[in-house]
Each structure stands twice: as C-alpha cells, then as structure tokens.
Amino acid sequence: MDKSLASSREKHRPNRLASDLIYQGWREEVKELVALLNKPLLKSLLSVHDAVAQRDFEPTLPPIPDGVLEEEEDSVKIVSLVKTKEPLLFVRALFHYDPNEDPAVPCKNAAVAFNRGDILQIVSTEDDTWWQACHVRDDASQAGLIPSQQLHERRVALQRPKALFKPRVKPPGPSGVGVNELKRRLLISNPDHYGVTVPHTTREKRRQENEGVDYHFVSVHTFEGGILNHRFIEYGMYKGHYYGTSLDSVHQVMAEGKVCLLDVHPSKIKHVYTSEFRPYVVFVKPPQIEELRLTRRRAKFICDEDDTNLVRIFSEEDFEDMIDLAETMENQYGHLFDKVIVNGDIAVVFRELKADLEKIAEADIQWIPAEWSCSSPTKARRSCGYLTGWI
C-alpha cells in the first residue's frame, strides 16, 4: 500500500470515523467499533502497516564521504555497516538471580542481579553459558553477565526436590493454602465474568446432585477412553472411583465467554499451556508461620485420613508442611507462574488478585512465549529460562 493510502487512513482515525457514524445513527455499532480499534493488538497491526507503507523499517544510511566517487579506481564499492536501533531481544525474567549467591559466576562485579518479573535487554548470547544483558527500567544500567538459558535450565534440572528428603510432606496432598477460598470469592464477585469447570466422575450420582452441574457422571469405560485420548488435565482415583478435570470442561466455560478459574497441581500446567488457552498462572503461597497461625485460627480444612474425609482445624504440623510444600513447588515450577501471591490477610489478597486479573483483562496484554505469536494454536514448553515474546 502506498503513502497516500496510509495517510488517508491517518485522517480516518477512530474519533473522526466515530463522529461520522454517530451522526448517521449507528451509536451501538460505533461503540463496538471504537473498542475494537482501540485494542492493543489491532493498534499494533495498524502501526506495523503504517511503518511498512511508509518504509519506516529501512535504516537511514550515513552520507557517502566526500571525494570517494571521484577516485580513479574502475569500480568503487561502498559498504555501509549500519546498526539499527533494534535490540537483540527483550526478555522477562522468570526467576530471581543474585550473583553474590552464585559461586560459579566468573566475576561477581561484572554480573547483573535481577528479580523475577524484571525486563532485561539481551545484548549478547554469543557465549553458551554467560549472556550479557542490562535492565530496561534503568537507562543508565550497564550491561553485565547473566546465566544463559541453557545454564539455568541445567541448574534447575539438577536441583533435587526438597520434598524427597522430608517424609512428613506428602505432595500433592491437601494444601489448604486458600486456592478454593480465592476462587469462590472471585466467582461471587462477578459470576458473569468467571466460571469453573464441572469435573467428571465414575461414582454414582447422589439424589441431590445434578448431571452437568455438580459432576459429569460417566462410565468407567468412557472415563478410561478420555484418559487414553489425553482428554484429562488431571485425574485420580478416590475410594475406587475416578475423578478428573477434562480439557472439554475448560472449553465449555470458555464457550460461555467466561474466564475459567482452574485449580491444578503445578505439574499439570503443561496440559493447558497452549496458545488456545493462554493461561495466566497464579501461585498461591502461604505467609510466614506467625501470620499463618494468626490468620488461620478459625479456619477449617478437609483432610483425607484412612480414606475418609475429615474436617479439622490446622495443626502446627500442617502449617509447616504447607510452607515446605510451597517452597518445593516454587523451586520446581516457579518458571511457570505469572504471579505469586502470599495469602496472608484474605481481604487484602483477594483485592490484589481481583485488581490484577481485571487489569490483564482490560489491557488485553500478557506475556506469552514467542512461539504463540504465530497464528496456529501451538503448545509451548515454557522454559525455566525466559519468555521471549510480548503481545
């Protein structure tokens, strides 16, 4: 498309178009159109289009030095090396790094410390083990060494889960950290916006239960077919009956136009880690033990002892297990989490979570793996190193 077309669209920015259409009596359609045109994805698409139409992407070449063309040589080749303003790549850190705690870093003073969530500009990936990067938040920041993706992945793979050495911890076990409480509060706060999945089970339907509301009641044959066809995100057996959460049940919630609140063990996140679901993963972790004791004084939780569900109050041992298990999970799966919240004061935590989810829904902006930016639905392996795309 040529410049004249691009500049003609410039004149028809949403506001001008909107007032023309409102004048013609298209008020509702106009609102929808303006909302659509203001979506970040569409805006980016239009700005890329304009850049291409105006050939903005071409580097500005420096002028040819005086006298070069007057030289007597038969053929003069002018080679210009131009470094564009384009950076090598931006990444968002998925783990915390402190060179002072890293005995392997070649030079602590030449390394860059960062926290989970920081945005870094990668300057060099030439070395397999140590990359060079600087912080984006800070214009004056110097580039320095950071562990490469490969190095960090190797380190994580070598980490032994702490739980293996702690016989009291029973992963995945009842955590009681408050995931259901937060889900329940989100649902009540906006039932038109949030939804939850209906699980499948092979046990008999009880009188007060409804098919498709409490559970999908299915035969063992159907359930096992679902397992074979990888239709379950998570499943297990309790008192001789299967229970599970299927991918289809997530589709059902999404088909109603709702955000699906899904509670899964971190090891199962990979099943929904696709461009189709684009999950936003929130890890709920317990506060320090003093705050746990204080906030959970009156709380009760369901635990499974000798195959029986018991409702009981938290013991000191439950608190310690909860903290240990959360630490193990965060070490092992921290790279999969978009947000970590510490569930201390429930009212404060709920407000924070709700505001965060609303911000994401409104802005329609989320960090995603770079491979999801291509059009076909893809599964991604979120590496424990970095995420490299931002949409």
Ligand X SMILES: Nc1ncnc2c1ncn2[C@@H]1O[C@H](COP(=O)(O)OP(=O)(O)OP(=O)(O)O)[C@@H](O)[C@H]1O
Q: The tokens of 337 are what? A: 């989490």
For position 92 contacting ligand X by CB under 6 A, the verdict is no
Alpha helices in the chain (DSSP H): 3-11, 14-23, 27-37, 40-53, 149-158, 179-189, 220-228, 247-255, 289-295, 316-333, 346-363
- Closest among 48, 79, 76, 77 to 61, alpha carbons compared: 79
- Choose the binding region for ligand X from 89-97, 113-121, 171-179, 330-338 (rule: CB under 6 A): 171-179
For position 176 contacting ligand X by CB under 6 A, the verdict is yes
For position 174 contacting ligand X by CB under 6 A, the verdict is yes
The closest residue (CB) to ligand X is 178
Among 245, 328, 332, 343, binds ligand X (CB under 6 A): 343
Neighbours of 298 (CB within 10 A): 6
Among 180, 274, 331, 383, binds ligand X (CB under 6 A): 180
Order of strands across the sheet that contains 119-124: 144-147, 130-135, 119-124, 89-93, 386-387
DSSP secondary structure code for residue 204 in this structure:
P
Closest to ligand X by CB, 48 vs 355, is 355
- Closest among 128, 178, 170 to 149, alpha carbons compared: 128
The site map against ligand X for 288-317 (x = CB under 6 A) is -------xx--xxx----------------
Torsion-angle region of 95 (φ positive above 0: left; ψ -120 to 50: alpha; else: beta)? beta
Identify the bridge partners of residue 238 per DSSP, sorted by sequence position: 241
For position 216 contacting ligand X by CB under 6 A, the verdict is no
For position 125 contacting ligand X by CB under 6 A, the verdict is no
Cβ–Cβ < 8 Å for 372, 302:
no
Count residues near ligand X (CB under 6 A): 15
Closest to ligand X by CB, 5 vs 302, is 302
- Closest among 32, 36, 60, 61 to 46, alpha carbons compared: 36
Shortest reach from residue 309's CB to ligand X, in Å: 11
Shortest reach from residue 185's CB to ligand X, in Å: 10
Among 149, 175, 201, 246, binds ligand X (CB under 6 A): 175
Among 187, 346, 370, 391, binds ligand X (CB under 6 A): 346
Among 163, 177, 326, 357, binds ligand X (CB under 6 A): 177
Closest to ligand X by CB, 115 vs 288, is 288
For position 179 contacting ligand X by CB under 6 A, the verdict is yes
For position 197 contacting ligand X by CB under 6 A, the verdict is no
Q: Show contacts of 211-215: CB within 8 Å, 24+ apart.
A: none
For position 178 contacting ligand X by CB under 6 A, the verdict is yes
For position 227 contacting ligand X by CB under 6 A, the verdict is no
Closest to ligand X by CB, 178 vs 226, is 178
**Measured between alpha carbons, how far is 17 from 9 in angstroms, rounded to an integer?**
10
Binding residues for ligand X, rule: CB under 6 A, are 174-181, 295-296, 299-301, 343, 346
